[in-house]
Amino acid sequence: MIDDSKVYDIYDKFGVEDNVVIIEQFTKIISDNETSNIVKSKAYCGMGDLIIFFDPFSREDGGYGYYKKALEYDPNNLVARIGICIVFDAYPEPYSEIVPEKEYLENLAILLDKFYEIDESNKKNVIQLMKSFVQNRLESI
């Protein structure tokens, strides 16, 4: 059975290995019938992260579909929720083109409720997302 250490090994190849090869490795994890839903969710997050951080305009949705799929496998995947918020933040005009503002706020509310369950590096991401959203809203008033 494939465990989440395999997912993290693939993350270590970000920026080193060709993106297509990395996607293929994540796809193998997802298609393995023995892999748990939690690990599959992490692999989908990995694909979303690869898109949003290394090639955000290679897909029309900026990796959003992968994060949504990750939540189907594990609704408690907070990294997937952060990814959805990052997609929203990365495509600010118009907000609703990829991620509706309501969905962004729902995910952000969940992240705030579970803030103390988030690892330190991702806590910084959540704080930055909140700052960015507030700044954008202030500019629109």
Query: Which pLDDT band holds residue 135 (cuts at 50, 70, 90)?
Result: confident
The answer to whether the CB of 133 falls within 8 A of the CB of 90 is no
- pLDDT digit string, tens, across residues 72-122: 999 999 999 999 999 988 875 655 578 888 899 999 999 999 999 999 989
pLDDT value, residue 46: 94
pLDDT value, residue 139: 85
pLDDT greater than 80 at residue 51: yes
pTM: 0.89
Query: Which pLDDT band holds residue 62 (cuts at 50, 70, 90)?
Result: confident
Query: Which pLDDT band holds residue 69 (cuts at 50, 70, 90)?
Result: very high
pLDDT value, residue 78: 96
The answer to whether the CB of 51 falls within 8 A of the CB of 90 is no
Dist CA 103 CA 71 (whole Å): 13
Q: Does the N-terminal peptide bond of residue 94 adopt cis geometry, omega within 30 degrees of 0?
A: yes
For range 22-33, the mean pLDDT: 92
The answer to whether the CB of 83 falls within 8 A of the CB of 48 is yes
pLDDT greater than 70 at residue 132: yes
Q: Report the largest interatomic distance among the alpha carbons of the chain, rounded to a whole angstrom.
A: 52
Dist CA 51 CA 22 (whole Å): 11
**Domains of the chain, residue spans:** 4-140
For range 35-48, the mean pLDDT: 94
DSSP E strands in the chain: the ranges are: none
Among 90, 88, 89, CA closest to 68: 88
What single letter denotes the amino acid at residue 101?
E
CATH 1.20.59.10 given to domain 4-140: no
Dist CA 57 CA 9 (whole Å): 25
Contacts for 49 with CB less than 8 Å, ≥ 6 apart: 11, 14, 63, 79, 83
